[in-house]
Amino acid sequence: MQQLQRFQVLRSLGFVFWLSLPVIGLVFWLGSGFVGDRILSRYHFTKKYLLADTQSSRQMTKRVAAIEVQILRQQGISRVNVKTSNSVLKTIVFEFPITDMNQLQATLSQELGLPQDRIKELIVEVGGGAGEQGR
C-alpha cells in the first residue's frame, strides 16, 4: 500500500514524463549522428566545373573592335580605351605608366592576350602628346 502511495505521488509529480525526456533526447542524438554520418560519407559526383581564364586569343580577337590610346607625356602615363563587341563588356579602360608606343603595344598584347601585329592594327592614337595636359 505504501508503495502504491509513493507511486501515486511520483505520478502526480510527472515522474514518467521527466524520466522519458532523457531517453527521447538520447534517441534523437544517436539517430541524428547516424543520419549525419550517412549523408556526409556519401560520394557526390558533380559534372559542373568552374573554368577560369580559358578565353582563347581567337575569341578575344573577334571581340576587340578598336583600341584608343592617349599618351600624356608630361604626366608620364598612357590611357587606353579598348572597345569590344561583347554585349556585356563594351569598354575596358587601362592606365599604364608608359609613354613609349612600342612598349605600350607589348604591354597591351600581354594584357589582352593578342598578338602584337593585331594590336598595331587596332590602335588609334587620340590627342595627348607633349603639348596637351590631359583631361
What is the pLDDT confidence band of residue 133, given thresholds at 50, 70 and 90?
A: very low
- Nearest to residue 116, comparing CAs of 67, 74, 71? 67
pLDDT at 126 over 90: no
Tens digit of pLDDT for each residue in 9-23? 767 777 777 778 899
Place of cell 543520419: 35
pLDDT at 17 (0 to 100): 77
Distance from C-alpha of 73 to C-alpha of 116, rounded to nearest angstrom: 22
pLDDT at 18: 77
In the structure grid, which three cell numbers stand for residue 38, read together? Answer: 550517412
Residue 134 confidence (pLDDT): 41
Whole-prediction pTM value? 0.49
Q: What is the pLDDT of residues 31-73, one digit of tens each?
A: 999 999 888 887 766 666 666 655 544 444 457 888 999 999 9
pLDDT tens digits for 88-105?
Answer: 778 889 999 988 999 999
For position 27, what pLDDT does the model report?
A: 94
